[in-house]
């Protein structure tokens, strides 16, 4: 996920526009800002790129999730279904609102298993939050059918799959709300930042107000604005938004190179016996930010990951033993270690994550290795990577049965 790989003149020029006026805030100071409204400009361009009516920029992908949930009216005691393989932001954003995360199994798409989602629905469920991990998506058609049937909000976390599509629609635009991160390691970056897209006007109005203390943003005097509801401060600064405008201009270029590099490695790995690929739901196209493979067993995946590291290939991730992205590493969540007292709704309703059976998730995650696709590789570097990857995996897999 390489936005930082292409940081250059365009980003500096955008940031300089802001530095020249010194107006670092996205609201007000109309006379001083030399006509620059970077956050607004990014929102308009991003909504268009994502074929959505509305975009709200905020300070991070995590705050995008919080604001999206809040804008849909989700609050204390409401249950939100999320996958076991995700980023910690999923449960953080939910718990921030006093809502209750409900973790369910993933399948061979490495995202929410629709059957597990349906089985987890209770009278308190309000929202299903698929997380399109590592460049590819959940079966959005199946999840949408479940949400329609049970009158639930479908909120897509597309932070790791910007530019991917499902049934021709940009990921993030298929559900009721879609969230993106522009943190430093994402496909396009603002340094720090996040975005929410939606076609629902009321959600857009709610998000606009909630991310800025409930301000109604009517008129030109912030001090005179009313506050229809309570809010918070999740605003983005003009400096960060300015970087994002330049990065958005590079998105198609980034996606094109990712796809080329991904396909080159995939073609080679498909000839290695024992390597299989993550399944992509029918109608979906990945954004090609990661090549995700399965090995025949957990033991072989562990060995392969170790061997890949030893042969000097960077950017190969074994999430099963990684504290960022899988339930096994989240002791703080499983034991509800919080600084202050948690809302009683969370304490009373949350599943016992130390004893819940996630064998199906373990089955897939134990065998998964994700290979990061960069765009700065020269043809030579790509070729060397391909050779080392295939040779290392062949070597590990050739030992099957000879142990």
Ligand X SMILES: *Cc1c(COP(=O)(O)O)cnc(C)c1O
Question: Where along the sequence are the contacts to ligand X (CB under 6 A)?
Answer: 60-62, 86-87, 89, 131, 157, 159-160, 181, 183, 194
The residue of the chain with the least Cβ separation from ligand X equals 61
Residue 117: which H helix or E strand, with range?
Answer: helix 114-120
> In angstroms, what is the minimal distance from the CB of 194 to ligand X?
5
Residue length, the chain?
Answer: 403
Output 114 or 194, the one with its CB closest to ligand X: 194
- Contact, 33 vs 23, CB < 8 A? yes
Cα separation of the two ends of the chain: 37
Q: Is the dihedral of CA 48, 184, 84, 274 positive or negative?
A: positive
Output 373 or 396, the one with its CB closest to ligand X: 373
Output 239 or 382, the one with its CB closest to ligand X: 239
> In angstroms, what is the minimal distance from the CB of 366 to ligand X?
20
Output 65 or 300, the one with its CB closest to ligand X: 65
Q: How far apart are CA 266 and CA 214, in angstroms?
A: 48
> In angstroms, what is the minimal distance from the CB of 130 to ligand X?
10
For 285-322, give one letter per residue: b (16+ CB within 10 A) or e. Answer: bbbbbbbbbbbeebebbbbbbebbeeeeeeebbbbbee
CA distances from residue 5 to 11, 144, 234, 373 in whole angstroms, order as listed: 12, 35, 27, 12
Residue 84: how many other CB atoms lie within 10 Å = 25
Output 79 or 192, the one with its CB closest to ligand X: 192
Output 85 or 392, the one with its CB closest to ligand X: 85
- Indicate the burial class of 158 (C-beta count within 10 angstroms; 0-12, 13-18, 19 or more): buried
DSSP string computed for 167-206: TTEETTSSSSEEEEE-BTTSSS--BS-EEEEES-HHHHHH
Q: How far apart are CA 153 and CA 141, in angstroms?
A: 14
Q: How far apart are CA 85 and CA 62, in angstroms?
A: 16
250 annotated active-site: no
Q: How far apart are CA 342 and CA 279, in angstroms?
A: 38
The residue among 282, 260, 247 whose CA lies nearest residue 168 is 282
> In angstroms, what is the minimal distance from the CB of 62 to ligand X?
3
> In angstroms, what is the minimal distance from the CB of 157 to ligand X?
5
> In angstroms, what is the minimal distance from the CB of 290 to ligand X?
11
Question: Of the residues 38, 144, 186, 250, which is catalytic?
Answer: 186
Catalytic residue set: 186
């Amino acid at each position: 996920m390489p936005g930082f790989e292409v940081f250059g003149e365009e980003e500096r020029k955008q940031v300089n526009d802001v530095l020249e006026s010194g107006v670092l805030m996205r609201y007000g100071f109309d006379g001083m800002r030399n006509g620059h409204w970077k956050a607004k400009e990014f929102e308009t361009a991003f909504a268009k790129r994502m074929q959505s009516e509305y975009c709200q920029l905020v300070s991070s992908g995590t705050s995008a999730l919080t604001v999206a949930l809040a804008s849909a009216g989700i609050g204390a005691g409401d249950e939100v279904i999320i996958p076991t393989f995700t980023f910690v932001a999923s449960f953080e954003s939910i718990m921030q609102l006093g809502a209750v995360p409900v973790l369910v199994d993933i399948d061979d798409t490495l995202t929410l298993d629709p059957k597990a989602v349906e089985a987890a629905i209770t009278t308190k469920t309000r929202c299903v939050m698929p997380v399109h991990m590592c460049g590819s998506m959940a079966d959005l058609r199946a999840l949408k059918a479940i949400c329609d049937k049970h009158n639930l909000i479908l909120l897509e976390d597309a932070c790791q799959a910007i530019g991917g599509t499902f049934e021709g629609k940009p990921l993030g635009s298929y559900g009721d709300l879609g969230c993106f991160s522009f943190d430093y390691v994402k496909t396009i970056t603002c340094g720090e930042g996040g975005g929410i897209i939606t076609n629902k006007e009321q959600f857009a109005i709610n998000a606009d107000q909630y991310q800025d203390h409930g301000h109604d943003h009517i008129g030109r005097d912030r001090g005179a604005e009313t506050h229809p509801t309570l809010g918070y401060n999740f605003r983005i600064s003009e400096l960060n938004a300015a970087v994002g405008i330049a990065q958005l201009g590079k998105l198609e270029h980034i996606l094109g190179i990712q796809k080329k590099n991904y396909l080159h490695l995939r073609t080679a790995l498909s000839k290695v016996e024992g390597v299989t690929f993550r399944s992509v739901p029918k109608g979906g196209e990945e954004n090609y930010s990661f090549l995700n493979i399965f090995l025949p067993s957990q033991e072989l995946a562990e060995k392969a990951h170790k061997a890949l590291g030893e042969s000097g290939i960077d950017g190969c991730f074994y999430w099963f033993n990684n504290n960022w992205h899988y339930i096994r590493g989240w002791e703080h969540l499983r034991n509800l270690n919080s600084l202050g007292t948690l809302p009683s709704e969370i304490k009373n309703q949350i599943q016992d994550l130390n004893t819940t059976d996630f064998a199906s998730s373990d089955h897939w995650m134990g065998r998964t290795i994700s290979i990061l696709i960069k765009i700065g590789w020269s043809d030579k570097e790509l070729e060397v990577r391909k050779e080392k990857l295939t040779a290392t995996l062949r070597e590990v897999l050739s030992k099957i049965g000879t142990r």
